[in-house]
Amino acid sequence: MINMAVFSSHNGSNLQSIIDACKNKILDMRVSVVISNNSNSVALKRAKEEGIPCFHISSKKYTNSNELDNRILILLKEYNIEMIMLAGYMKKLGKKVLQRYKGRILNIHPALLPKYGGKGMYGEYVHQAVLKSGEKITGVTIHLVDEEYDTGSIINQCKIDVKNNDTVESLAKRVQKREKSFLIETLKLISEGTIKLEV
């Protein structure tokens, strides 16, 4: 059983699908701790409701980025975390966490990277850009996390059709639905060892 930390800034719907898949024994993993930079996030509420230890850690509380990094590392150690999932986490991780968990930090992105990634490419901005470019296919990417936004090695991708009459909303809805099942499929491949991380 892999002990996982999930980092999430807002709604946490991907967090919820991981929790559900763990509860339903679809995944041989455990969400042992949830961390959010946003004290009002639905993600923290979801974790509380599920009885999962959760923490608000932000630069408002820790003005020194080194302290923030250390606080996160202490929690990850305390909960014996082996792997980190960034699911809608809007902050960059600090150097120490990146180093300590190198090769074991994943992010989910709602497009086919390396296209439509990077700073400012999140949420509806991604789908807006995909539609503006006239893409016929978009998708979901799960990748390793490095120092930059959305640039780490790609672990798994799935494709999703863009329809002629798609709006940002309709495309977002389709991607958001698919990304959850794809995330669970990918985590399952990791927990079974088909996709190898240094866990």
Residues assigned a catalytic role: 109
* Interface region with ligand GRF, contact rule CB under 6 A, candidates 45-53, 94-102, 108-116, 160-168: 108-116
CA 57 – CA 30 distance, rounded (Å): 21
Classify residue 60 by burial, with Cβ atoms within 10 Å: 0-12, 13-18, 19+.
Answer: exposed
Residue 110 CB, nearest approach to ligand GRF (Å): 4
Rule CB under 6 A: choose which of 109, 117, 139, 142 binds ligand GRF.
Answer: 109
Of the two residues 158 and 197, which places its CB atom closer to ligand GRF in the complex?
158
Which residue number is nearest to ligand GRF in terms of Cβ?
A: 88
Among 7, 21, 88, 142, binds ligand GRF (CB under 6 A): 88
Looking at residues 6 to 65 of the shown chain, list those that interact with ligand GRF (rule: CB under 6 A).
8, 10-15
| Cβ 35 to ligand GRF shortest distance, Å | 13
Q: State how far the Cα of 167 lies from the Cα of 76, in Å rounded to an integer.
A: 40
- Size of interface with ligand GRF, in residues (CB under 6 A): 14
Residues whose CB falls within 8 Å of the CB of residue 186, separated by 6 or more in sequence, listed in order: 142, 155, 156, 195
| Rounded Cα distance, 76 and 56, in Å | 14
CA dist., res. 132 & res. 104, Å (int): 34
**Do residues 141 and 112 lie in contact, with contact meaning Cβ atoms separated by under 8 Å?**
yes
Chain residues binding ligand GRF by CB under 6 A are: 8, 10-15, 87-88, 108-110, 176, 179
